[in-house]
Structure 1
Amino acid sequence: MHGPAVSGWLLMALCAVTGAYCLSRSRTGTGEERRTARAEALMGFGMAAMAVPAAVVAPPAWGWAGYAVLFGAAALRALWFARHSGHHLHHLVGSSAMVYMAVVMARSGGAAHGGHASHTMAVAGGVPLLTGLLLAYYAAYVLRSGARLIPVAVTADAAGGPAAGPLATGWGARPELALACRLTMGIAMFAMLLAL
């Protein structure tokens, strides 16, 4: 997760901005939408904190355990709310991936690739099996989310005008921005897992 300093800072900034937008979304919408936005804000800020280059700001020894506990609790919360919404299953995978990365980093003492040496199950290229599965999940998630952002033709009503419907107002009520944030965090998670 802690590769070159410039890419680490860019990843940190991207995740922090995404987390801030998700936090702003948590003030509008239904209870479920606010709950989802809060979970996504936690993920964005947590990813930002984990992406800070270790050469510049080394996390304390207990920091990785703190991440594991925090995201372990987030995973349990996502599991609880998954009974209401399937999107919380994605939050469960994301929180579990953060726990996994924190454990690997704690074992390696914070070195980016040292943790892989202790894994016993690896796929052909030396990548641990769980890392490979998470990379495959996030690659598929990013492709699916990106495809959902592709604009579709506007339908017309019977009179030939554009379809009437409620217009989203405010930054928090823009579904395409929420989807773009999810896409951004999926790409960031893929990059963090790749650098693990």
Structure 2
Amino acid sequence: MHGPASTGWLLVALCAATGAYCLVRMRSEVEEQRRAAGGEALMGFGMAAMAVPAAVFTPPDWGWSAYAAVFGAAGLHALWAARASAHHLHHLVGAGAMVYMSLVMGAAPGHGHGGSGLPPLTGVLLLYFAGYVLATGARLVPAAATAGGTGATGWGDRPELARACRLSMAMAMVAMLLAM
């Protein structure tokens, strides 16, 4: 990722922490939560790896293709899982965005978009994730206000924490798209 190193390290920390929490969520007793958490953990750790500042580590040329292949496979899995739950459509868009960023970064290492202005697909993805941030943030406020009376719930079964993780990753996606 290009941009200030401090921003990159903050994104690495945020995405890695989100990925780690999603691994905890995979221990949920609710099957749908476990399935969604797996995709979100992959996304969190993948975003953390891509956000490492370019001054510290630049993946080899084949690394960007590997990112694209992994997230392409995750996108196919999300497409298949979307038959059962519409939430997986968001995973599909996220995986597609990661494939797109991998291809752009691999095609122009060190230059991002090459200074040619904002490509239309980047703009569409920015609008989608910015809208997702606003919608998820609005849903998070009521969930946090009513979460106190849920009883003894495990860390993997807290819907407000799952929403906060999704919000964190969507904000990180906006930052990564802007920094490309």
TM-score range with shorter-chain normalisation?
over 0.9
Taking the TM superposition and a 5 Å limit, the aligned residue runs for 1:1-196 are: 1-114=1-114, 117=116, 126-151=117-142, 167-196=151-180
Q: Distance in 2 between matches of 1:110 and 1:50?
A: 13
Cα deviations by residue, 1:40-94 (Å, 9 ceiling, x for unpaired): 0000000000000011112111110000000000000000000000000000000
Under a length normalisation based on structure 2, what TM-score does the superposition of the two structures give?
Answer: 0.93
Task: Confirm or deny: 8 A CA contact 1:168 1:174 kept in the other structure.
Answer: no
Task: Tell me by how many angstroms 1:109 deviates.
Answer: 2.0
Q: Distance in 1 between matches of 2:152 and 2:36?
A: 18
> Which runs of 5 or more structure 2 residues have no equivalent in the other structure?
none
Task: Confirm or deny: 8 A CA contact 1:65 1:102 kept in the other structure.
Answer: yes
Q: Does the C-alpha gap of structure 1 residues 97 and 168 become closer, same or farther in structure 2, counting only changes over 3 Å?
A: farther
| Letter aligned with residue 19 of structure 1 | G
Under a length normalisation based on structure 1, what TM-score does the superposition of the two structures give?
Answer: 0.86
| Letter aligned with residue 127 of structure 1 | L
Task: Tell me by how many angstroms 1:167 deviates.
Answer: 2.4
| Letter aligned with residue 135 of structure 1 | L
The answer to which of 55-64 and 43-52 deviates more is 55-64
Q: Partner of 2:104: helix, strand, or coil?
A: helix
| Letter aligned with residue 130 of structure 1 | L
Question: Identity percentage over the alignment?
Answer: 67
Task: Confirm or deny: 8 A CA contact 1:15 1:45 kept in the other structure.
Answer: yes
| Letter aligned with residue 176 of structure 1 | E
> Which runs of 5 or more structure 1 residues have no equivalent in the other structure?
118-125, 155-164
Q: Partner of 1:151: helix, strand, or coil?
A: helix
Which structure has the larger Rg? 1
| Letter aligned with residue 57 of structure 1 | F
| Letter aligned with residue 97 of structure 1 | A
Paired residue total:
178
Q: Distance in 1 between matches of 2:91 and 2:125?
A: 13
Q: Distance in 2 between matches of 1:65 and 1:39?
A: 19
Cα deviations by residue, 1:140-179 (Å, 9 ceiling, x for unpaired): 000000001113776xxxxxxxxxx752512111110000
